Amino acid sequence: MTKHLLSIADLNKGEIYQLAEMAMAFKKNRQQTDHLRGKTLGMVFQKPSTRTAVSFAVAMYELGGLPLMLNAQDLQIKRGESLPDTARTLSRYLAGIMIRANKHEEVAELARHATIPIISGLTELEHPCQVLGDLLTMMEIFKVRRQEDLNNFQVTYIGDGNNVAHSWMLAAALMGFVLVVCSPEGYLPEKQIKQKADALLALSGGRIVYEKDPETAVRDASVVYTDVWASMGKDEERDQRKKIFTPYQINKKLMSHAPKNAVVMHCLPAHRGEEITDEVIDGPQSVVFDQAENRLHIQKAVLVHFLQQPK
């Protein structure tokens, strides 16, 4: 059965740790290889992208394969061709598809009819590859050497309970660390993700805590994480959200309540002066651009893991 990556929960703890180890090896010795020689990755974009597009393209090239950019506006889907027909056709040409989509259900439908791996490059529900790269960054910064060591960490996510927050919840539930989610009332993560995470938590020993006060939320944090207050598709809400989310800004005052060795993460792009200040994102605790670089290395590991699977 073809294995897809639509959710971070499509992986288990051991697989996530192995992906991070593989990515670290790729990072340590960055060169062109022949892991995916002769294979082509189709990259479908319904939304704008910088890090996802470039990191997947460079990763595929450096693994010896071909990245093929497919703008959704140029495909026959725009003219009414069904997703099942598109999946069946592209499966005859490609080794895999990475898709950045408006709706998670569209990616799921593509996967149901494809005979090649489908990798989510972001939907409104999850952003699995982003958080895999973030886990790699956390393991690298804190020199995590064993899976069990992750149990000692707390990630504090402050801001909108969006797709990135959802993937962090599932990651904490799978890997067994503590995640503190600090979001305004009315902007908490979706119930279906909470239920999915709760079921996984029972097996891992991890914890997800919901805390309204940002200063309390960062008190024991190893990682303080934020994202834009208005995700793609919600730009019309930006002014309204600014008023609601202002107390949730990651700034020097808030970071004074976090441990001195805590690091700051942001998945980018950042709206500087809104969810995070220049002083913090450019400061000594920021590992934001390490995160951005690590998207390339984790993407290599993901592509090898999924595109080398037996037919």
Active-site residue, 76 included: no
Residue of 4, 100, 104, 305 with catalytic role: 100
Active-site residue, 37 included: no
Residue of 4, 51, 104, 127 with catalytic role: 127
Q: What are phi and psi of 283, to 5 degrees?
A: -90, 180
The rounded distance, in Å, linking the Cα atoms of 147 and 16 is 10
Tokens of 60: 């595929």
- CA dihedral 252→253→255→259, nearest 10 degrees, is 130
Residue of 130, 154, 285, 299 with catalytic role: 130
Active-site residue, 267 included: yes
Q: What are phi and psi of 310, to 5 degrees?
A: -65, 145
Residue of 4, 134, 267, 297 with catalytic role: 267
The rounded distance, in Å, linking the Cα atoms of 282 and 59 is 27
Residue of 51, 295, 297, 305 with catalytic role: 295
Residue of 46, 227, 291, 305 with catalytic role: 227
Active-site residue, 100 included: yes
How would DSSP label each residue in 246-276? GGG-B-HHHHTTS-TT-EEEE-S---BTTTB
H helix runs in the chain, sequence order: 13-28, 51-62, 83-93, 104-113, 128-141, 163-175, 191-204, 214-217, 238-245, 252-255, 278-281, 288-307
CA distance to 146, 154, 156, 191, 192, per residue, from 178 (Å): 17, 5, 8, 19, 19
Selection from 270, 132, 151 nearest residue 222 by Cα: 151
Tokens of 67: 């990245």
Active-site residue, 51 included: no
Which DSSP letter does residue 94 get? -
The rounded distance, in Å, linking the Cα atoms of 5 and 8 is 7
Residue 235: partners with Cβ closer than 8 Å, 6 or more residues away: none
Beta-carbon count within 10 A of 20 CB: 25
Tokens of 47: 């939304």
Which amino acids are annotated catalytic?
Answer: 100, 127, 130, 227, 267, 295
